[in-house]
Amino acid sequence: MPVIPSVIPTVADVVHSPISPIRLISKDDTHIITNTGSLSPVPQMARHASSPSSLAHTIPFVPSQLESLLPPSLPQIFKQLIPSEIKMMSEKEKEEWSSMITKVIVSFCYAMFAIFCTSVTMVVVHERVPKDYPPLPDIILDNLPLIPSAFAISEFICVVLGLIVFFILVIHKHRGIIFRRVLVIIASVFLLRCITMFITSLSVPGTHLTASCMATRGMTTTFDDKLKRALEITFGFGMSIMNVKTCGDYMFSGHMSMITILNYTINEYTPKHWKGLHIITWVLNCFGAFFVLAAHEHYSIDVFIGFFISSRLFVYYHDTANMRHILNLHNIETTAYIPLFDYMEDTVDGVVKNEFIISVGEKDHRHRPLHSLDPQTIHTLQEQQQQIASTLPTEQQHHHQYH
């Protein structure tokens, strides 16, 4: 039996020890632990791990220090059942510059098209706001007093989150992929919003809006007037702080959708140990919802549906993108019901790793002491080491024991 070391080894000590049963299947700086008994690391992801015999030897969980490298959108089932097949795209696998620029331009045009369509729809529904209809019963608005400046505060929160996302894009090595993904998700959400706004016209949610909405109704009767008003909304991004005032665009809240997408983007493309930032963005997300409601500019259902649709579409997009390489390994065909998805993701092979052009306090998980790991991981590592060590000759055990 091996001698129990007096000094607690690190994860790197255990992994690189000659008597260790742990093999690192690495892709650049990404490490996945498998119970194969091999003593030498391999340079590429184990594509053969899809066979039943290989999967049977895979540890059925990803240790916490390795799981922190994975984005939160990656489904837990894939982390637990087939961790050896999780591939993370590294900075060395960047697509060609021309392809990247082309896709960014296409995604930007798609987003601007969606915003313009939304603006045109807002002009149309403004003319269809019901007259002489009181606000609908709303359990939250009926019990929440009106705060006149609340809507501007919610837009300020959106701007703050947008600046954080901009900073992440500047320092992230995969900024092109992130930027086009966010644009496609925003555009898809707002195209869906065009439909929900157009098919049903709701009365204004607050009596303070009745006079202003009715006063501006009927001012865009000609095509030129409608086009001019749509362009004003487009370039003002539909924000009141840009002097854009609209009525009738209630189902669902575009402000809530934007705040939610920006929040999810920040949480997806920053390291897990940036917990302070993540808490702040979630608090801002919640306060954004509160201030939209406090302004009585949207019904409660608008805010709820806005959060639900935008968050689910964000997760669905990233789930599909992150599972793409795993499903391809098993020849499983999938269809993503998001416009331009296949075109945007055809050159992305694996999960986008959070790599930055500057040092932002990344943690080297390979050199954490074992006592900082979860008990299940420690027990598994020690048990496997003892099993392999017991099969080696006595001389080799003494030669490779820890000091």
Give me the mean pLDDT over the 154-180 stretch. Answer: 94
Contact 385, 19 (CB under 8 A): yes
Active site residue 296: no
**pLDDT value of residue 117:** 94
> What gap in Å lies between CA 303 and CA 287, rounded to an integer?
12
> Is the per-residue pLDDT at 260 higher than 60?
yes
**φ, ψ of residue 357 in degrees (nearest 5):** -80, -15
What six digits make up the tokens of 200? 């049903």
The stretch 139-162 carries a mean pLDDT of: 94
Mean pLDDT across the chain, nearest whole number?
A: 75
Angle at the Cα of 245 (from 241 to 246), degrees rounded to 5?
135
pLDDT grade for 388, boundaries at 50, 70 and 90: low
Check residue 337 and give its pLDDT: 81
Active-site choice (126, 174, 255, 365): 255
Catalytic residue chosen out of the listed positions 138, 302, 318, 325: 302
Cross-strand partners of 88: 351
Q: Which residues pair with 27 in a beta bridge?
A: 30
Closest CA to 363 of 372, 376, 371, 350: 372
365 among known catalytic residues: no
Token pair for residue 353? 């790793």
Q: What is the mean pLDDT of residues 18-42?
A: 38
| pLDDT average, residue stretch 77-91 | 53
Closest CA to 205 of 310, 308, 294: 294
What is residue 223's predicted lDDT score, i.e. its pLDDT? 87
What residue spans define the domains of the chain? 11-91+359-400, 120-346
In this prediction, residue 128 carries a pLDDT of 86
pTM of the model: 0.70
pLDDT at 178 over 50: yes
The answer to whether the beta carbons of residues 237 and 325 sit under 8 Å apart is no
The answer to whether 281 and 162 are in contact (CB under 8 A) is no
Candidates 298, 318, 325, 365; catalytic one: 298
Say whether 298 is catalytic. Answer: yes
Which strand (E) or helix (H) includes residue 134? none
Rounded CA separation 219/390 (Å): 86
Supply the pLDDT for residue 90: 55
Q: So what's the pLDDT on residue 61?
A: 44
Token digits of residue 192: 């869906």
Q: Is the pLDDT of residue 32 over 70?
A: no
Identity of the amino acid at 260: T
User: What digits encode the pLDDT tens for the residues 309-358?
Assistant: 999 999 999 988 888 777 777 766 666 788 898 899 888 877 888 888 88
